[in-house]
Amino acid sequence: MPQTIHRGIKSLIEEANAEIETLSAVEAIEAAKREDVVIVDIRDPREIEREGRIPGAFSCTRGMLEFWIDPASPYAKPIFQGDKKFIFHCAGGMRSALAAKTAQDMGLKPVAHIGGGFAAWRDAGGAVEKWEPKPASTKGG
């Protein structure tokens, strides 16, 4: 028998969008120029490699977000401990809405996300740079 989902992804995204700040791509492009803003790219590295990235964006896969935000986590990243505004983005704006909501619920503030995600940023003329993963280290024996 199939599972019965009572709160699907559509509801979760609607709830998140009702509680977080959503910036247009144009607003995000302007905000990214400020020293007190961190653009957080939650896309998978394969997406970033394929599509490019916002210059200066901090990459944090969605799966590590909570662990990197929490200062008590052994995986905490110093960037999330600063007094900055964190603007999340994904490819199209759905995962970043959930990420911003989670970050906000954890106490990170202020947070926002880019409506329409990376695609909207690119389409609005935002800067994009190519990204290539670091080559795997080869340890001789």
- Coil, helix or strand for 55? coil
**pLDDT for the residue numbered 138:** 58
pLDDT category of residue 140 using cuts at 50, 70 and 90: low
* Pair of tokens at residue 127: 């800067």
pLDDT digits (tens, 9 = 90+) for 28-68: 999 999 999 999 999 999 999 999 999 999 999 999 999 99
**pLDDT for the residue numbered 1:** 83
**pLDDT for the residue numbered 47:** 96
pLDDT digits (tens, 9 = 90+) for 86-138: 999 999 999 999 999 999 999 999 999 999 999 999 999 999 999 877 776 55
**pLDDT for the residue numbered 89:** 98
**pLDDT for the residue numbered 131:** 84
**pLDDT for the residue numbered 27:** 98
Those residues with Cβ within 8 angstroms of residue 57's Cβ, 6 or more apart along the chain or in another chain: 39, 40, 41, 89
pTM for the full predicted model:
0.91
Phi-psi map region of 117: left, alpha, beta (phi>0 left; psi -120 to 50 alpha) = left
